Amino acid sequence: MSDMTNPDEVVTHARVRLLDLPSSAGKMALITIDNDRDHTRPTTFGPGGMASLDAALDQVAIGVTGKPFIFAVGADLSAIGSVTDREIISQFGQMGHNVFRRLGEMDVPTFAFVNGAAMGGGTELALHCDYRTMSWGAAAMSLPEVFLGLIPGWGGAWLLPNLIGPANALEVIIANPMQQNKQLKPKDALRLGVVDALFESADFLEQSIRWAADVVNASIVVPRPEPDRESWETIVGIARTMLDDRIHGATPAPYRALDLVSAARTTSRDEGFTAEDEALADLVMGDDLRASLYSFDLVQKRAKKPVGVPDKSLARPVTKVGVVGAGLMASQLALLFAKRLQVPVVMTDLDAERVGKGLEFVRADLAGQVTKGRLSQDKANRLSALVTGSTDKAAFSDADFVIEAVFENLAVKKQVFAEVEAIVSDTCILATNTSSLSVTDMAADLAHPERVVGFHFFNPVALMPLLEIARAEQTDDATVATAFSVGKSLKKSCVLVKDAPAFVVNRLLTRYMGEVIKAVDEGTDIAVADRSVDPLGLPMSPFNLMRLVGPAVAFHVSETMHAAYPERFHVSENMRNIVAAGKTAIWMKQDDGTYIVDPEIAAMLVQGDSPLTEEQVRTRAADALADEARRMLDEGVVAEAQDIDLCMLLGAGWPFWLGGITPYLDRSGAAERAAGRRFLAPGVASVPQ
Amino acid sequence: MTASVRPGGLLPSLGAVVARTAAEVVYVDGVRTPFGRAGSAFAETRADDLVVRVFREVLRRNPGLPPGRIDDVAVAATTQMGDQGMTIGRSAALLAGIPNSVPGYSVDRMCAGAMTAVTTLSSAIMAGAYDVALAGGVENMSRHPMGEGMDPNPRFLAERIVDVDALIMGNTAENLHDRFPQLTKDRADAFALGSQQKTAHAYAEGWIQPDLVPVATRSAELGWGMLSADEAPRPATTLEGLGALKTPFRAHGRVTAGNSSGLNDGATAALLASEAVANELGLQKKMRMVGFAFAGVEPEVMGVGPVPSTEKALARAGMTIADIDLFEINEAFAVQVLAFLDHFGIDDDDSRVNPMGGAIAVGHPLASSGIRLMTYLARDFERNPSARYGITTMCIGLGMGGTVIWENVNYAGSKA
């Protein structure tokens, strides 16, 4: 590709109309940015769009607004993944600066009327204007670049801190993007000073233009307090410490953004914009960004169109759901099914007390949501009435979908399915939430094994977006199609996996944890082992993950996996002892807030005499992940490496910059070292060579 | 205050039937969108959005009224489909952010829709059922051409219940020329020219603009724009130009695009209140309702409708035409205005008639126009404190007329 010209660009047009401001304030040129699609294809800027806006700016007084529901959502990134020439990216950044900055450097006042969603370059376009109004109805505003591995490169990193000060700017530029890409609501944008005034959507543009007339007439004066430049570096320093604690330097984008905000304290506009161009080009030419774009594509597209799924026309309607069990997991499932499918859900358990407890969980959760204003009382009443309990599985007789969430024991689960099968219709789906048992074995003795499917949620069920749907040996297409249809209705991202021990996420996590624990068993200091994967920037360290899962559960899974693959999955005697001692965490918080290894654990630890360095542990862990991932592909656990990555992104919360995991394994050399070859061709989730 | 302050009273027999005093109704305020030419500024703007704009502006202009005090909302549209359907009085109120405790409904009396919304709501105020009401009218003829979805019963023609011309408004206007041969095309064209000139003058004087609500106009092709003045007026109109226009309804006919109102898009809104509540809330009062009437005529000469409706309204109020100082008559067609003026012995160019021009110039978005007339009359009264009474009147499809008599709240004693 020789320049940024993109034959597939959905060109955004900047349309200018001259209009009379109220109160005889004069004429305004109002620019509408619109790509001639409806709001489901939001407005983006590519080279064609920039040229159109550039031409539109050859005017006098300027207002800029968007098509219905959308202001603009930033750069058209569709072509970036294939850019091989740094110079092209520099030019792309410069082009945006050169056009957008005209709005901030006019002799006449310029206004952005943010009528709808504004993200990235769209927000930057607004920031270049002298004044900004925003509709109460606008869905969101953000600078999500850091979330994607970029920096606000069309002026945002310099303009925003100079407008609202470094603390507020860092919230928008770094903190929000790193918090699941949190968006600003209009009231947040006003509070932070990103916009100057909010108007209701019913007559947003009219009131904005009236307000603009008052600004032009100077009957409204918008305060522009100079940010405090004394405390600037202190604030940046605090942010840097928080960032280090969180991601340990794992990926460059947030640090480059931080550097730009820091420099904005003293740099001129020209210097600031040039620094953005440099940072943007550096990041675009780095593998972290390419992996992030790959990740973004997976969660945006592949997660919505799962691969290898039978035609949805085969799916059967689900009008009543049964949940076997009324424990915590079962209660969460009952709540989710009732909420999303809005059909009757019945929970069963061994005695009335357990059933009552499960129902109480559901009622309390609904009541809490009513209190928080997230649910109306009427809706809560409806959902509450949908969820019932029984000690008799006969309540399942007219259910179309029964899921079990009982104790993780094959014999128990087989018994449950046998009992349910005696009651339900021949086509009722029997789903299991097992995390590591064989679904095929579970179905083996049933009259209709073809209706059994694995339906593996992640905890907490309401929040975690991933659902692994496991196809057992005899599962038929209609059952898989129904499971995916139900999963979609539950608003989960579903990935089809083969019925193999621990499916995808838990298998990889268990293998990786096994390597870290083995290093400790061999003599590595716990602190060294726990820090070993810091440079990946995972959401938590290995032993913090163990605390979240619970050492007992983690150990149980390691044993199960060891039984399946004894040569690869490590069972630690130290872990056995820790679990036996009833310990729930390795790390113990001290009075001064720092952590030490629980002294009792330290005392019981039996270690070898071959300590490893952090780097050695990390290499082992990465190699183990590469080995396991390759085996999973060879076994056909999932269709492609992309599915493994999607699972790790959504099920383990592993970061975009790792691409899930296989792009990291490729670029770190682990893939070739441990599995003999890459997972993805160069360029798919890395800079093409 | 009782009805007895005016000649004849409101409903003379009411006191004898029930022990109830009719409340006075005041016209608090009225606004409208600029009227667009069909197919132009508002072609991509929903009718309910137009109503939302005028509702919000009339409430913004009257901050003393807590919106929750509105007892009912009535909105008129002739074609009640799509964005003009769905009980637009309710849906537009919700879209405008009026509290959902305030109910709403829709009204249809074709061109007199908004007028009927006003009279119906006022009736409820008079009866003591309501304190405050919000009336509106809208027609986006770009999106809803006249007669859209119309399905006349075949008996109309088969049994000659109406003449074949009755459903084509231009034909009814030609019929009026036939009935009153003295109403020549030259007189119609001269009246039309006057409407354009009076409109241009009113704009130049700034009489019209204060009640216009500028509306952002969506155009996928051109981007957002803003309509802050009526699109339809043609201030450069000349008699020669009018004379050269085609007569589309009849070969060698008399009715032209120049001496008729056009096809337009727009919305109007008016706040009404009992006088006592207006006083309590400190609301402005622009006019006081004296009375109203609707009347029917042969559908094929619907333009003459204002004659019997005005006579009826005057009679019920115990008034005569001589009591009326100002006339706001809808100019659906010049000939229909002239028929009214001839009947009452008023000159074609009488300065009391449509002093700010009329629909021939600014346009006639069917169901919205009734309130446009009232808003004009309120401004006429403001400029003429010596004028005490005025009427708003209009002809209505299928052979009807409507008339509302108003009193100038700022009446400052007898005419000089």
| SS3 of B282-319 | CCCCCEEEEEEEEEECCHHHHHHCHHHHHHHHHHHHCC
State whether A20 and B222 contact (CB < 8 Å). Answer: no
Which of B52, B220, B228 is the closest to A36 by Cβ? B220
Residue B244's contacts (CB-CB under 8 Å, 6 or more residues apart) are: none
Question: Using 50, 70 and 90 to split pLDDT, how confident is the model at A7?
Answer: confident
Single-letter residue type at B218: R
Is the per-residue pLDDT at B3 higher than 80? no
Question: Using 50, 70 and 90 to split pLDDT, how confident is the model at A61?
Answer: low
- Any bridge partners for residue B32, and if so which? B212, B268
Phi, psi of A503 (to 5 degrees): 55, -120
DSSP assignment, residue A171? I
Mean pLDDT across chain A: 94
The pLDDT value given to residue A2:
43
Q: Residue with structure tokens 């005392």? A: A603
Specify the higher pLDDT residue, B160 or A139.
Answer: A139
Both tokens of A662, joined, read 């296989």
Residue A593's contacts (CB-CB under 8 Å, 6 or more residues apart) are: none
The pLDDT value given to residue B2:
40
d(CA A501, CA A557): 10
Q: Is A245 exposed, middle or buried (0-12, 13-18, 19+ CB in 10 A)?
A: exposed
Which of A30, A200, A209 is the closest to B223 by Cβ? A30
Is the per-residue pLDDT at A180 higher than 70? yes
Tell me how many residue pairs between chain A and chain B have CB atoms under 8 A apart.
56
d(CA A296, CA A689): 22
Chain B environment of A205 (Cβ under 8 Å)? 216, 224, 226
Q: Which residues of B141-173 are buried (b: 16+ CB within 10 A; e: fewer)?
A: bbbbebeeeeeeeeebeeeeebbebbbebbbbb
> Considering only CA atoms, which of A621, A540, A606, A599 is closest in space to residue A572?
A606
Question: Angle at Cα B117 formed by Cα B114 and Cα B119, nearest 5°?
Answer: 110
Is the per-residue pLDDT at A59 higher than 70? no
- Domain range A13-285, CATH architecture: Alpha-Beta Complex (3.90)
Question: Using 50, 70 and 90 to split pLDDT, how confident is the model at A4?
Answer: low
Which CATH number describes the domain made up of A312-498? 3.40.50.720
State whether A209 and B218 contact (CB < 8 Å). Answer: no
Both tokens of A585, joined, read 């965490």
Give the pLDDT confidence of A226-236 residue by residue, as tens digits.
Answer: 999 999 999 99
Is the per-residue pLDDT at B10 higher than 70? no
Both tokens of B394, joined, read 């209009």
- Give the mean pLDDT of A1-29: 78
Q: Is B98 exposed, middle or buried (0-12, 13-18, 19+ CB in 10 A)?
A: buried
The pLDDT value given to residue B11:
47
The pLDDT value given to residue A3:
59
Residue in A30, A136, A203, A206 to test binding to B, most B beta-carbons within 10 Å: A203
C-beta neighbour count of A359 within 10 angstroms: 18
State whether B223 and A20 contact (CB < 8 Å). Answer: no
Quick check: is B144 catalytic?
Answer: no
Among 3.40.50.880, 3.40.47.10, 3.40.50.300, 3.30.1330.10, name the CATH number for the domain at B3-145+263-406: 3.40.47.10
Whether B206 has its CB under 8 Å from any CB of chain A: the answer is no
Catalytic residue among B111, B201, B252, B343: B111
Quick check: is B111 catalytic?
Answer: yes
Give the pLDDT confidence of A422-467 residue by residue, as tens digits.
Answer: 999 999 999 999 988 999 999 999 999 999 999 999 988 999 999 9
Residue B257's contacts (CB-CB under 8 Å, 6 or more residues apart) are: B245, B246, B248
Whether B52 has its CB under 8 Å from any CB of chain A: the answer is yes
Which of B216, B221, B223 is the closest to A16 by Cβ? B223
Chain A environment of B215 (Cβ under 8 Å)? 206
3-state secondary structure of A189: helix
Whether B57 has its CB under 8 Å from any CB of chain A: the answer is yes
The shortest C-alpha distance from A182 to chain B (Å) reads 28
Most confident of A298-307, A458-467, B85-94: B85-94
Helices then strands, counting H and E runs in chain A, come out as 27, 19
Both tokens of B309, joined, read 């409706």
Chain B environment of A31 (Cβ under 8 Å)? 223
The shortest C-alpha distance from B26 to chain A (Å) reads 27
The answer for B 225-284 residues in CB contact with A (under 8 A) is 225-226, 228
Residue A44's contacts (CB-CB under 8 Å, 6 or more residues apart) are: A10, A12, A35, A72, A73, A74, A75, A76, A77, A121
Chain B environment of A67 (Cβ under 8 Å)? 220
- Give the mean pLDDT of A386-405: 96
Query: Strand ranges (DSSP E) for A499-654?
Result: 587-589, 595-597
C-beta neighbour count of A227 within 10 angstroms: 21
d(CA A443, CA A450): 8
Question: Over pLDDT 70: what percentage of chain B?
Answer: 94
Domain map (residue ranges) of chain B: 3-145+263-406
Quick check: is B364 catalytic?
Answer: yes
Contact A139, A159 (CB under 8 A): no
Question: Which residue in chain B has the smallest CA separation from A27?
Answer: B226
Is the per-residue pLDDT at A485 higher than 80? yes
State whether A209 and B214 contact (CB < 8 Å). Answer: yes
Contact A476, A610 (CB under 8 A): no
Whether B97 has its CB under 8 Å from any CB of chain A: the answer is yes
Q: Is B250 exposed, middle or buried (0-12, 13-18, 19+ CB in 10 A)?
A: middle
**Region of A374 on the Ramachandran plot (φ > 0 left; ψ -120 to 50 alpha; else beta):** alpha
d(CA A124, CA A128): 6
- Give the mean pLDDT of B127-144: 97
The pLDDT value given to residue A1:
36
- Any bridge partners for residue B395, and if so which? B401
Residue in B224, B227, B228 to test binding to A, most A beta-carbons within 10 Å: B224
- Give the mean pLDDT of A482-489: 97
- CA A472 from centre of chain: 29
Question: Which residue in chain A has the smallest CA separation from B216?
Answer: A206
Is the per-residue pLDDT at A29 higher than 90? no
In chain A, CATH 1.10.1040.50 sits at 505-636
Chain A environment of B52 (Cβ under 8 Å)? 202-203
d(CA A116, CA B76): 31
DSSP assignment, residue B3? G
Chain A environment of B218 (Cβ under 8 Å)? 68
- Give the mean pLDDT of B391-405: 97
Give the pLDDT confidence of A122-158 residue by residue, as tens digits.
Answer: 999 999 999 999 999 999 999 999 999 999 999 999 9
Tell me how long chain A is.
Answer: 689
Is the per-residue pLDDT at B1 higher than 50? no
- Give the mean pLDDT of B312-329: 98
Tell me how long chain B is.
Answer: 416
- Give the mean pLDDT of B293-320: 97
Question: Using 50, 70 and 90 to split pLDDT, how confident is the model at B17?
Answer: very low
A668-677, B199-208, B220-229: least confident range: B220-229
The pLDDT value given to residue A60:
55
A13-22, A244-253, B14-23, B228-237: least confident range: B14-23
The pLDDT value given to residue B12:
46
**First-residue to last-residue Cα distance in chain A:** 13
The shortest C-alpha distance from B409 to chain A (Å) reads 28
Residue B128's contacts (CB-CB under 8 Å, 6 or more residues apart) are: B20, B22, B23, B274
Residue B358's contacts (CB-CB under 8 Å, 6 or more residues apart) are: B195, B198, B199, B261, B328, B329, B330, B331, B337
ipTM, 2 dp: 0.86
- Any bridge partners for residue A466, and if so which? A493
A52-61, A240-249, B31-40, B407-416: least confident range: A52-61
> Considering only CA atoms, which of A450, A443, A457 is closest in space to residue A494?
A457
Is the per-residue pLDDT at B19 higher than 60? no
State whether B225 and A22 contact (CB < 8 Å). Answer: no
SS3 content of chain B, % helix, strand, coil (to 5): 40, 20, 40
Which CATH number describes the domain made up of A505-636? 1.10.1040.50
Question: Over pLDDT 70: what percentage of chain A?
Answer: 99
d(CA A289, CA A688): 12
d(CA A305, CA A174): 30
d(CA A359, CA A368): 14
Give the pLDDT confidence of A547-597 residue by residue, as tens digits.
Answer: 998 999 999 999 999 999 999 999 999 999 999 999 999 999 999 999 999
Phi, psi of A636 (to 5 degrees): 75, 30
State whether A30 and B214 contact (CB < 8 Å). Answer: no
In chain A, CATH 3.40.50.720 sits at 312-498
State whether A16 and B224 contact (CB < 8 Å). Answer: no
State whether B57 and A36 contact (CB < 8 Å). Answer: no
Which of A65, A67, A206 is the closest to B214 by Cβ? A206
